[in-house]
Amino acid sequence: MAYVSATLDSYWDTLKERRKFRRFEKQLAVECSVQEKVGDLYHAFSHDVSGEGVCLQVPEIMPEKSQINMQIKIPGKRPLDVKGEVVWVSEMKRDYTASERVFKVGVRFLKIDTKDKGVLNKYLDQIAKDSA
């Protein structure tokens, strides 16, 4: 019996992990604002964080492709100033007692100062060592 390449082979190839950086489930305080909505400041928490982006839990939908300004608070360090872009949004499941809607927002980092990037990478390296 001869092997015939099937469409499923290419389907499974598309499901491979495309991220370049490992994500760490860490809850960090984040203050953020959408550039198009002047004056609105959101107090959010990260769901996970990596060297290239962060998943936030926010009380309102942030439209995809929105540019956002963030201050990510790493314990024991000054807040990191980061500009990002919303790449996806999904509503979190809530139990019947929750009265407010909560959304997960995937944010890709667009601009981060070299020093802040170093602080973030050092923090992520420490998380990796602690979880090993």
Residue-wise pLDDT for 67-94, tens only, equals 999 999 999 999 999 999 999 999 888 7
Residue 17 covered by a domain = no
Could you tell me which residues come within 8 angstroms of residue 45 by beta carbon, excluding any fewer than 6 positions away?
27, 28, 29, 30, 56, 57
Tokens at 51, concatenated: 């060297």
Taking the C-alpha atoms of residue 31 and residue 16, their distance in angstroms, rounded to an integer, is 32
Residue-wise pLDDT for 19-62, tens only, equals 466 788 889 999 999 887 777 888 999 999 999 999 999 888 88
Residue 6 covered by a domain = no
Do 24 and 127 contact (CB within 8 A), yes or no?
yes
- The boundaries of the domain holding residue 88 are 24-131
CATH number at residue 49: 2.40.10.220
Domain tally, the chain: 1
